[in-house]
Amino acid sequence: MNAAMPQDPILQISRLQKRYGDVNVLKDIDISMAPGEFLVLVGPSGCGKSTLLSCISGLTDISSGTIRIAGKDRTNDEPADRDIAMVFQSYALFPNMSVERNIGFGLEVRKVEEAEKKRKVAEVADLLKIEHLLHRRPAELSGGQRQRVAMGRALVREPKLFLFDEPLSNLDAKLRVTMRTEIKRIHQTTNASIVYVTHDQIEAMTLASRIVVMKDGVVQQIGTPQEIYNKPVNAFVADFMGAPSMNLMTGTATREGDHLRLQIPTPDGPPLELFDYGPGPETLSAGGTAELTIGLRPEAMTDLGLRSGGIDGRSLQSADCLLDVVEPAGADTYAVIQLGGTEAVARLSADAPVTAGQRVPIAFDLSKISYFDIASGNRL
């Protein structure tokens, strides 16, 4: 039996640059996106993610590079010729039109027959659960309903590529969670190809097939949510992705036979000492010692009650730690510990009987450890 042929990319960005005068805001962007993917562009304000989306749409000209959509070079095409649909954070609905006309306006412009237009609008309204709103006007809708209408207007056109520009940023926290679920459901139902911009890393983690993490106009890492979370390529990605973020602690590592001896400074006594039996950094040879950044997620630093397997002395090790601050958070309790020159956060069970100022045993899951170079921040 012949193996399935790989699909051509629905979006191919090659060596894209965007300059405003002497300022290069996008630097050699290379992204390949498969059909049906949900690709999320994420990063702090000013990282270039919205500019990149605007370049993909054709609303912003690029300085160099190419943009191909569904196999066609669209670098110099007008937005209307790119076979895309956009969903904006501002909804951009026509206030004088009903929901039905707003959704169907693109079909109206393309002179789709009335019966076909009504059928498509009805299908999309059913998918978005807004059939009962079709005769209302935008002023009569809630924020979440307006966003559904904006998505409906994009969906009804059946474009090759959907572009979402922070569509949930104007909604309150509870409604954002609801709409996030709706967008996920729509993607699973339609298998649409979506590029989605957000500054919210939780949105990125929950929605994406793959994530593009950006900083200062440069792509830092492209990967699945699991790859981004568990194997960040540098300290920036480790710190930016995750809530709470990865603990990045300065310490020393010494290669001793089949393990690394790790020493992490504490403010109140001798350093915390752990032993990593994993491969560790390849750059550290036998007998060598190096100062580096040690990364552990809060869930890899927890109370013993969360670990059914118990302490095995290898991947799971215990050390007494002084709790600086204790923060109950419902399902979990977070404890701040001063380690390696930073406020490390441990994730404890909700009913952990702990208080600030108490010294308690903390289990360190070293199978989840990451190492980064102090100078460059790159993963070792």
Structural domain contains residue 6: no
Q: How confident is the model at residue 310 (pLDDT cuts 50, 70, 90)?
A: low
Task: Identify the band that residue 2 occupies on the pLDDT scale cut at 50, 70 and 90.
Answer: very low
Among candidate residues 208, 236, 264, the one where a domain is terminated: 236
Looking at the domain assignment, is residue 33 inside a domain? yes
Which structural domain range is residue 83 located in?
11-236
Q: Which two tokens stand for residue 93?
A: 């609905």
Listed residues 188, 207, 236: the one ending a domain = 236
Is 153 in the same domain as 300?
Answer: no
Range with lowest mean pLDDT among 51-60, 130-139, 311-320 = 311-320
- The answer to whether residue 273 is domain-embedded is yes
Question: Exposed, middle or buried by CB within 10 Å (0-12, 13-18, 19+), for 217?
Answer: buried
Please tell me the predicted confidence (pLDDT) of residue 36.
96
Per-residue pLDDT averaged across 107-114, rounded? Answer: 84
In three-state secondary structure terms, 95 is coil
Structural domain total, the chain:
2
pLDDT value at residue 1: 43
- pLDDT at res. 307: 55
Q: What is the pLDDT of residue 6?
A: 56
**Same domain for 178 and 55:** yes
Domain presence at residue 347: yes
Query: Residue 305: is its pLDDT beyond 60?
Result: no
What digits encode the pLDDT tens for the residues 331-369? Answer: 899 999 999 889 999 999 988 889 999 999 999 999 999
Kindly compute the dihedral angle of the four CA atoms of residues 153, 157, 159, 163, in this order, to the nearest 10 degrees.
Answer: -10
Based on the domain organization, do 251 and 173 belong to the same domain?
A: no
CATH of the domain at 352: 2.40.50.140
Statement to judge: residues 144 and 259 lie in one domain: no
Given a cut of 60, whether residue 3 has pLDDT beyond it is no
Q: What is the mean pLDDT of residues 282-292?
A: 84
Q: Which of 236, 257, 278 is the last residue of a domain?
A: 236
- The per-residue pLDDT for 208 is 97
Report the chain's mean pLDDT, rounded to a whole number: 90
Structure tokens at 81: 């010729």
Q: Which pLDDT score is estimated for 337?
A: 95
Does residue 1 belong to any structural domain of this protein?
Answer: no
The two tokens of residue 160 are 């090759």
- The tokens for 289 are 């010692």
Could you tell me if 309 and 256 lie in one domain? yes
Residues 41-65: what's their mean pLDDT? 95
Say what the pLDDT of residue 286 is.
76
Q: Are residues 230 and 253 in the same domain?
A: no
CA angle, 361 then 367 then 368, to 5°: 85
CATH label of the domain that carries residue 164: 3.40.50.300
User: Same domain for 367 and 228?
Assistant: no
Global pTM? Answer: 0.89
Q: Is the pLDDT of residue 197 over 50?
A: yes
Q: Is there a domain that residue 85 lies in?
A: yes
